[in-house]
């Protein structure tokens, strides 16, 4: 197959790798289906607490959908029913950390937006060039980007198709960290390991609550957050957290 999607488990952290470096990890329909399948499997696997998403090589995280594949759909109906891989990443309920480098464009950038924490290598170029090819992206950029950086900045990025540098993306709040290329994987793995050590119920409740904040009115969001708080206490992990605090040790959440 031209390109692959592989999953490697490192304890409670699952590394999801886009492996087509010769083509900037551009996503073919087969890869899109593999991403969606892997995302569903990782979400259902209780042994996995955090997903680390990255691309092979140093030239690109992912340049988006393979353009030749986009031109090969037999009909508009088939294109409409394609597997939307960025949505599959966004729908993972567990924490997703994206390790970005080089070209991060189009559907690749939309996958990154669907992650919860984005750590980028110096020199990463982040953008949405779809308008320069004659279409609007279908993986969520027009909906998520304005919520994250404001309407004016989102309009500029989406209407010009111009990518931005890692330093600007960090200043806008899109990237959590910018590190040297040589340190990228270690930084992402360290973040994943830290989060994986916490209660999965608590971490997933944080994610659900913050996602709700992007959509709900304040009063509804506050009510939802309180329900997540009650859920955490009903799960029982708080008892281990309290014991660990009293005993001056790190908590060991086994769930």
State residue 38's pLDDT score. 98
Residues 134, 30: one domain?
yes
Q: How many domains, the chain?
A: 2
Predicted confidence (pLDDT) per residue in 145-193, tens digit: 999 999 999 999 999 999 999 999 999 999 999 999 999 999 999 999 9
Mean pLDDT value of segment 13-20: 98
Active site residues: 110, 130
Residues 48, 151: one domain?
yes
Residue at a domain's end among 196, 212, 238: 196
Predicted confidence (pLDDT) per residue in 42-65, tens digit: 999 999 999 999 999 999 999 999
Look at the block and give the residue holding tokens 């390991």.
193
| Full domain range(s) for residue 154 | 4-196
Sign of CA dihedral 87, 117, 99, 160: positive
Please name which of 105, 108, 206 lies closest in space to residue 157, comparing C-alpha atoms: 105
State residue 251's pLDDT score. 87
State residue 253's pLDDT score. 87
Q: Is position 235 within any domain?
A: yes
Predicted confidence (pLDDT) per residue in 181-228, tens digit: 999 999 999 999 999 999 999 999 999 999 999 999 999 999 999 999
State residue 43's pLDDT score. 97
Residues 127, 162: one domain?
yes
Three-class SS of residue 48? coil
Asked whether 184 and 116 are in contact (CB, 8 A), the reply is no
Asked whether 85 and 27 are in contact (CB, 8 A), the reply is yes
Residues 153, 230: one domain?
no
Residues 122, 228: one domain?
no
């Amino acid at each position: 197959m031209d390109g692959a999607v592989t999953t490697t488990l490192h304890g409670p952290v699952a590394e999801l790798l886009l492996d087509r470096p010769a083509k900037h990890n551009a996503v073919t329909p087969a890869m899109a289906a593999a991403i969606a399948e892997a995302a569903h499997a990782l979400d259902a696997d209780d042994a996995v607490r955090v997903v680390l998403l990255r691309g092979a090589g140093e030239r690109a995280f992912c340049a988006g959908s393979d353009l030749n594949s986009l031109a090969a759909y037999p009909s508009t109906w088939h294109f409409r029913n394609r597997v939307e891989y960025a949505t599959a990443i966004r729908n993972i309920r567990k924490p997703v950390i994206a390790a970005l480098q080089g070209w991060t464009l189009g559907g690749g950038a939309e996958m990154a937006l669907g992650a919860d924490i984005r750590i980028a290598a110096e020199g990463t170029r982040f953008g949405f060039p779809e308008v320069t090819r004659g279409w609007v992206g279908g993986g969520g950029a027009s909906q998520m980007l304005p919520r994250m950086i404001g309407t004016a900045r989102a309009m500029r990025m989406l209407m010009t198709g111009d990518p931005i540098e890692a330093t600007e993306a960090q200043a806008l709040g899109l990237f959590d960290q910018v590190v040297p290329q040589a340190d990228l994987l270690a930084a992402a793995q360290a973040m994943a390991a830290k989060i994986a050590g916490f209660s999965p119920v608590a971490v997933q409740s944080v994610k659900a609550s913050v996602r709700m904040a992007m959509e709900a009115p304040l009063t509804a969001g506050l009510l939802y957050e309180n329900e997540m708080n009650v859920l955490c206490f009903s799960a029982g992990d708080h008892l281990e957290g309290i014991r660990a605090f009293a005993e001056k040790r790190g908590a060991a959440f086994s769930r």
